[in-house]
Amino acid sequence: MSSLDNSKPNLLSGMQPSASSLHLGNYLGALVNWVAMQKDFNAFYCIVDLHAITVPQDPFELRANTRRTAAQYIAAGIDPAHSALFIQSQVPAHAQLAWVLNCITGFGEASRMTQFKDKSQKAGAESASVGLFTYPILQAADILLYQPKAVPVGEDQRQHLELTRDLAERFNTRFGETFVMPQAHILKETAKIYDLQVPTAKMSKSAADPKGLINIMDDNSSITKKIKSAVTDTDGVIKADAVNKPGVTNLLGIYSAITGESVLSLEDRFAGAGYGVLKTELAEVVIAAIGPIRDRANELMSEETELDRLLALGADKANAVAEATLAKVYERVGFIKR
């Protein structure tokens, strides 16, 4: 994307560089869609380091994780020559628009965000930062700067997308038509990948037990070990039933998401086989899908100068669009142009 293709709608999404690896939930819930959608959209893919520092980060690790995240995006198939792949802190308009949006967000409205409630409970109410509280408003700024039609995310982001739409509508009503209404793009089948040890909880980097999540950067033997020790149940029947058999249901869902084979067909094919057989095959399927991404990401990580060059290119593309939106916003709210 040398410049925007006006015949295509815009798209934006982002992930936090807050771990040394993305996990299978990030990959199946979001990244796979990002890759598929980049051809039909002017796509903006952001590494949200400003969001990452809403909880404490080691500066050395943050820099490394930011590059690692970029490497995983590219290794999974994001084409930096076509899509804008960039680091949020390299585009100052994100923080600038967030401030304006902070000022039209109700305190009660922000207090109702469930992700803040969950995360602040974990951190302890007293140690949760104000940045964590305003996190969804920065996310709204990320989105609205690029006038995107679609925002491909997992189910856990639905409430933040609703807030973004509310803020866009409020701003448009108060100051005149400025923002395009973004639409969450959530695929039912991969909207929520569950923890392998606690299959009623979503797979998350803050999992209590590291065996619960599969990381893109995991080596093959730890992927196999984690899948083999996934929690199931004792009746031995391979059937999807989210209420009574969440563990097996999750394994079938992951299998189906990766291979495209329907859960019904998997149930048929594995009928009478034990969980061990399902797990062994699933481990092979997962390794075949993410192993090459891990290996390519490791190669890209060793070409740091090239990675930084690609990210700077992405930041230039993103800045051009973001600055234009911010200029419109500043003018609408009554700021004097220098």
Question: Collapsing DSSP states into helix, strand and coil, what is residue 242?
Answer: coil
**Sole window of 21-29, 104-112, 236-244, 310-318 interacting with ligand TYM (rule: CB under 6 A):** 21-29
**Sole window of 25-33, 247-255, 256-264, 266-274 interacting with ligand TYM (rule: CB under 6 A):** 25-33
Question: Collapsing DSSP states into helix, strand and coil, what is residue 330?
Answer: helix
By CB under 6 A, is residue 322 in contact with ligand TYM? Answer: no
From the list 184, 148, 145, 177, the residue with the least C-alpha distance to 163 is 184
Any catalytic annotation for residue 119?
yes
- Find out whether 47 and 41 touch, Cβ atoms under 8 Å: no
By CB under 6 A, is residue 154 in contact with ligand TYM? Answer: yes
CA 131/CA 137 separation, integer angstroms: 10
Any catalytic annotation for residue 205?
yes
Binding mask 50-69 for ligand TYM (x = CB under 6 A): -x------------------
For residue 97, the minimal CB distance to ligand TYM (Å) is 12
For residue 279, the minimal CB distance to ligand TYM (Å) is 19
Question: Collapsing DSSP states into helix, strand and coil, what is residue 40?
Answer: coil
**Sole window of 154-162, 263-271, 281-289, 303-311 interacting with ligand TYM (rule: CB under 6 A):** 154-162
Question: Collapsing DSSP states into helix, strand and coil, what is residue 127?
Answer: coil
Q: Please, which residue, 14 or 246, has the CB nearer to ligand TYM?
A: 14
By CB under 6 A, is residue 98 in contact with ligand TYM? Answer: no
- Find out whether 22 and 30 touch, Cβ atoms under 8 Å: no
Q: Where are the beta strands (DSSP E) in the chain?
A: 10-15, 42-47, 84-87, 150-152, 183-185
- Going 22 to 27 to 28 to 30, the CA torsion angle's sign is positive
By CB under 6 A, is residue 30 in contact with ligand TYM? Answer: yes
By CB under 6 A, is residue 26 in contact with ligand TYM? Answer: yes
By CB under 6 A, is residue 214 in contact with ligand TYM? Answer: no
From the list 93, 13, 84, the residue with the least C-alpha distance to 42 is 84
Contacting positions for ligand TYM (CB under 6 A): 12-16, 25-26, 29-30, 48, 51, 139, 142-143, 151, 153-154, 156-157, 160, 192-193, 202-204
Enzyme catalytic residues: 119, 202, 205
